[in-house]
Structure 1
Amino acid sequence: MIELYTWMTPNGQKVSIMLEEVGLPYRVHPIDITRDHQFDPAFLKVSPNNKIPAIVDTDNGLHLMESGAILLYLAEKTGKLWGQDFPTKWRVVEWLMWQMGGIGPFLGQVHHFVKFNPGKSAYAEERYAKEAKRLWRVLDRRLGEVEYVAGDYSIADIAIWPWISRFAWQTVDFADYPHVKRWYVAIAERPAVQRGWDVIGEGRKLPMP
């Protein structure tokens, strides 16, 4: 059993989608970050950085924070969605790290300044919206060459897709990124993705272009 501590964010959705894809049993513990529940002392023992998602694997007592590390762990535990042949293994890691270092932090800043705090800093809005479009172009070029970012569907796609699902917040238009649109829709149609989208039961519909 995997104990999943999560909320309705892209990073949280990565792990619930992964758990649905690999078929591991799990139990959801909602951590309402809108009410600062991530700072609860009990949660701190699971996630020393006070961030969701985090997991505890009751098979061995291991607890992990950081969504990328959790995806790697679950892929290794199940032998799924992370091909180990060379160079596939490292292509998956490459695009996973691209998400962790680019898509996540920079699109997150677009959400902060453009969606939730418009008018606070014209410089920040312009800077991060411009970078969002650049990252979308990188993804579109890559997906013009391959079906999924590392070739086959993998944890790299699972890491990136929930961030792209916030497209309405990111000042982008799918019409400008046809390969991203094709990839996004294909993943959105996966039953495991649909199940993992809202495991805390907020009732939000999966956004489609």
Structure 2
Amino acid sequence: MADHDPADNLPAGYEPPKVWNAETESGGQFAGINRPTAGARYDRDLPVGDHPFQLYSLATPNGQKAAIMFEELLEAGHAEAEYDAWLINIMDGDQFSSGFVEVNPNSKIPALLDRSGREPVRVFESGSILLHLAEKFGAFLPASGPQRTETLNWLMWQMGAGPFLGGGFGHFYAYAPIKIEYAIDRFAMEVKRQLDLLDSVLADRRFIAGEDFSIADMAIYPWYGGVMKSAYDAQEFLQVKEYANLQRYAEEVGNRPAVRRGEMVNNIRGPAERQLHERHDARDFDLNTQDKMEARGGERVVP
């Protein structure tokens, strides 16, 4: 390791101890829910609806992937893909209930309980959910051949690249309690490289893996389309207008009807008419968005 002056560290004089103190306060917007241990923190069963698939989620970029997949399946005519979507508010610690931990021991959204077979199957990690549903319904992923491999290439790329954008750049640029120039510059460099990569790939492709919309797009759009539009309020900082092909892609994918619906599911932020806290029926999008529920005093209409 190169020599350095501890006085230049942040905070000044800081040196990593031989053993990390588990009681250290991490600070930032998510400090209240972060702990160095896994497992349930309290007992509570998860709700279960009438449909074959039970989705437990929040409309973060990772959560949007699963809801978009379900809505795209239904849009494509797969009626057996009907699902219930239950809100998991991560700021309230819903992901640490015993019921949720049974479905996802990692306590991260989204989590899926597939009850379409003889025995319930838990599916966690957003990429795994996309792959599971694509293979179950034979949709949005070629069955074999080079195009299947190319689609999986980009799905796995997003799963590996996303943390640099979210937990790296997004955290230090938008959520950390202090602004650390080194950290912001380090992750901004990587995000710019990722944006340039996607922009170059999309120069001669309609979608990420080729000419057909796929689970690769469902994984990549919520993260990188979000950066194009509003995520972290960093559009000027990252100069996203430089990436014309990615801008075109984000607009096209964002205007797909199923994508627009998927972005609404378990959404608790932004315009009330774009929030559907729970989804149990396709008619919920017309009847039970948050603006309509607030006008009724919080009452949900059962379609």
Q: Secondary structure at the match of 2:238?
A: coil
- Whether contact under 8 Å (1:149, 1:157) holds in the other structure is yes
Say if 2:171 is the partner of 1:105: no
- Whether contact under 8 Å (1:52, 1:66) holds in the other structure is yes
Q: 1:138 aligns with which of 193, 197, 206?
A: 197
Cα deviation, 1:73-131, whole Å, max 9, x if unaligned, reads 000111110012410000000000110001x1011121111011263422111111111
Paired residues for 1:36-75 under 5 Å: 36-60=93-117, 61-75=120-134
Instruction: Provide the identity percentage.
Output: 41
- Whether contact under 8 Å (2:103, 2:122) holds in the other structure is yes
Q: Per-residue deviation at 1:201?
A: 4.4
Distance 2:172 2:71 in 1: 32
Q: Per-residue deviation at 1:41?
A: 1.2
Say if 2:267 is the partner of 1:197: no
Paired residues for 1:53-202 under 5 Å: 53-60=110-117, 61-102=120-161, 104-108=162-166, 109-117=168-176, 119-151=178-210, 152-167=212-227, 168=230, 169=232, 170=234, 171-202=237-268
Larger radius of gyration: 2
Give the aligned CA root-mean-square deviation in angstroms: 1.4
Say if 2:30 is the partner of 1:3: no
Letter in 2 for 1:155: I
Letter in 2 for 1:114: Y
| Deviating 4+ runs (over 6 angstroms) | none
Q: Secondary structure at the match of 2:264?
A: coil
Residue number in structure 1 paired with 2:87? 30
With structure 2 as the length reference, what TM-score do the two structures score? 0.65
With structure 1 as the length reference, what TM-score do the two structures score? 0.93
Whose helix fraction is larger, Structure 1's or Structure 2's? 1
Letter in 1 for 2:88: I
- Whether contact under 8 Å (1:5, 1:31) holds in the other structure is yes
- Whether contact under 8 Å (1:144, 1:179) holds in the other structure is yes
Distance 1:134 1:98 in 2: 13
Which structure is richer in relative contact order (CA contacts within 8 A, separation 6 or more)?
Answer: 1
Cα deviation, 1:26-49, whole Å, max 9, x if unaligned, reads 101111001111111110000010
Distance 1:188 1:166 in 2: 9
Letter in 2 for 1:191: P
Residue number in structure 2 paired with 1:15? 66
Letter in 2 for 1:52: I
Q: Secondary structure at the match of 1:81?
A: coil
Q: Flag structure 1 segments of 5+ consecutive residues without an equivalent.
A: none
Cα deviation, 1:48-68, whole Å, max 9, x if unaligned, reads 101110101111211110000
Aligned residues: 205
Q: Secondary structure at the match of 1:165?
A: helix
Cα deviation, 1:4-27, whole Å, max 9, x if unaligned, reads 010121000000000000112110
- Whether contact under 8 Å (2:58, 2:267) holds in the other structure is no
Q: Secondary structure at the match of 1:144?
A: coil
Return closer, same or farther for 1:129/1:64 CA change in 2, 3 Å cut-off: same
- Whether contact under 8 Å (2:59, 2:267) holds in the other structure is no
Return closer, same or farther for 1:51/1:203 CA change in 2, 3 Å cut-off: closer
Q: Per-residue deviation at 1:165?
A: 3.4
- Whether contact under 8 Å (1:198, 1:204) holds in the other structure is no
